[in-house]
Structure 1
Amino acid sequence: MKDNLTGQNQEGSNANWPVKILTATSIIGDDVDNTQGENLGKIKDLMLDVHQGTISYVIMEVGGFLGINEKLFAIPFKALKLDPADQKFILNTNKEQLEQAPGFDKDHWPGTNSHEYYEGAGTYWGNFMGPSTGTALT
């Protein structure tokens, strides 16, 4: 705590353990794997609820090459678990469920002020969220 008040970096391999706060830039670009260790995609962006001051959704990018033929998914932030050791997130789903999920492409984002798409996505992903979602893996 003393180091945090002085602005000095803590020393040691576990100086920031357990992970509680991350910068947006440290999350964007992180891999998202499933519980079987298969890569599902990468975090492309964060959707912030400016009234609540929280991350509502991450936008996960799947497939494509250099932005061509990619598909985007709005995943409720609470559906992801942090794997700090491997600097990635875990989503409790498989590739078949992902293929059936509501998604969109980079040129046709759903309206950000219309909650219809995001509520539907939240309902879909809520089916795969266990009771311990949004917590760090140990």
Structure 2
Amino acid sequence: MFDYDTTGSTVISSDRVNGTAVYGADDRRIGTIDHLVIDKESGRITYAVMSFGGFLGIGEDHHPIPWTKLRYDTRLGGYRTDITEEQLRNAPERKDDWYRDRSWEERAYSHYGVPPYWI
């Protein structure tokens, strides 16, 4: 594996994003990034699948959230989001193949108040 030294750069290797902490508007840690979902045609990151709750991986829940809802915060050394716990709880229900369901994607992007990545 190639080890990117991204110090002083605006780019980052995806393997360094996985496991990065996510913080709410109040600077409280709310979860971590489990993995990224990338659109094969455009190459754009579409979702960060975040893990929330649980202990040592037991009882964790994973939620795909639009990548545009995250901003890297150098002070925290992690990503910040304005997504609330209530928004996560009320997110559109999804099946195992949610990433193949454009209707679900439309509802999810609308739920989080951001334009869809394909527009």
TM-score between the two structures when normalised by the length of structure 1? 0.68
With a CA cutoff of 8 Å and minimum separation of 6, indicate the structure with the bigger relative contact order: 1
TM-aligned CA deviation for residue 37 of structure 1: 1.0
Percent of residue pairs identical: 26
| Distance change >3 Å, CA 103–CA 32, structure 1 → 2 | farther
Q: Which has more radius of gyration?
A: 1
Q: Indicate yes or no: 2:51 matched with 1:57.
A: no
Which letter maps to 1:21? V
Q: What is the Cα-based RMSD across aligned positions, in Å?
A: 2.4
Answering whether residue 70 of structure 2 is matched by residue 120 of structure 1, we say no
Which deviations, in whole Å up to 9, do the C-alpha atoms of 1:84-135 show, x marking residues without a partner?
232210111332333222366xxx63342222222221111126x9xxxxxx
Matches for 1:1-138 after TM superposition, within 5 Å = 16=8, 19-102=9-92, 109-126=96-113
Amino acid in structure 2 at the alignment position of 1:123 = S
Alpha carbons of structure 1 residues 36 and 48: separation in structure 2 relative to 1, 3 Å:
same
What is the number of residues matched between the two proteins?
111
Secondary structure of residue in 2 paired with 1:119: helix
**CA 1:87 to 1:103, structure 2 compared with 1: closer, same or farther past 3 Å?**
farther
Q: TM-score, normalised by structure 2?
A: 0.78
Q: Which runs of 4+ in 1 moved over 3 A?
A: none
Higher alpha-carbon deviation: 113-122 or 46-55: 113-122
Task: Specify every segment of 5 or more residues in structure 1 that has no aligned partner in the other structure, as ranges.
Answer: 1-8, 130-138
Deviation at 1:70, TM superposition (A): 1.6
